[in-house]
Amino acid sequence: MEHRKISRAVISRLPRYHRYLGDLLEEGVERISSNDLSKKMHVTASQIRQDLNNFGGFGQQGYGYNVKYLYTEIGKILGLDKTHNFIIIGAGNLGQALANYASFERSGFILKSLFDVNPRLEGMSIRSVQVRMMDELVDFLANNDIEIAALTIPKTKAVEVADILVANGIKAIWNFAHTDLTLPKDVVVESVHLSDSLMQLSYNISRRKESRKK
Ligand code: NAI
């Protein structure tokens, strides 16, 4: 299927559409109107129509959207029609929490190993995925088809470890360490700051309080 050039703003909303459509599929829903999807997602129906029109021909007037088709097509755009092997560097609190989250697999992200420097973690398994020591990393990368590395280590170590990952072929870093990484252009970095959404929440709480006062 032909896609128009899709804006970054729309792309950033696609994972959320994908998640909701996945839930609808699990509930056995075959078709949904933009109005019903709008109520479910708390987004205006016109925003949904505008976003989904980017892919052309999904919605039929009066019939709504074909949930499975839309889910599959958005999945393809997000590259979810293939599996992506990933590793986690730093098997501490956050690394273990991520490793315990089984739903990544549902979207095709397969955790192959965790790595750490703490010898007490050596040999430990999380949902059958082994924690290895950092001195095994280079060999492991050479012998396994790993696309993504999640960085859940102290920020003081992140730059050094990211350089090792990139020198050994990693092209995508999911960066949880609160530091900016300057890496070659062909390496994609997605930085996650959970506190950003908390701050967003705090902003919304203050706005509500303000409007109640008026
Ligand atoms: P933690 O102390 O429980 O785990 C860190 C792990 O990294 C430890 O097991 C440690 O042995 C390991 N480690 C240290 N140096 C290493 C190296 N050079 N190579 C491999 N492993 C190494 O810490 P926690 O709570 O899991 O946090 C990890 C990181 O994630 C921190 O930088 C923290 O600030 C960040 N963080 C980020 C969040 C976000 O929203 N982005 C949320 C929570 C934590």
pLDDT in tens, 73-104: 899 989 999 999 999 999 999 999 999 998 89
Does 91 count as an annotated binding residue? Answer: yes
Question: Taking all residues of the chain, what is their mean pLDDT, rounded to a whole number?
Answer: 91
* Predicted model pTM: 0.87
Sequence-ordered list of residues with C-beta below 8 angstroms from that of 139, at least 6 positions apart, any chain: none
Residue 90 known to bind ligand: yes
pLDDT category at 1 given cuts 50, 70, 90 is: very low
| Domain span at 139 | 84-196
Same domain, 72 and 120: no
Residue 107 contacts residue 132 (beta carbons within 8 Å): no
Q: Could you give the CA distance from residue 154 to residue 137 in angstroms, rounded to a whole number?
A: 18
95 is a domain residue: yes
- Whether residue 102 sits in one domain with residue 72: no
Compute the Cα dihedral for 6, 7, 12, 13 and give only its sign.
Answer: negative
- Among the listed ranges 53-67, 131-145, 184-198, which one has the minimum average pLDDT value? 53-67
Q: Indicate if 177 and 127 belong to the same structural domain.
A: yes
Closest residue CA from atom 17 of ligand 1: 117
pLDDT at 111 over 80: yes
Q: Is residue 155 part of a domain?
A: yes
Same domain as 168, residue 126: yes
Task: Report the number of distinct structural domains present in the chain.
Answer: 2
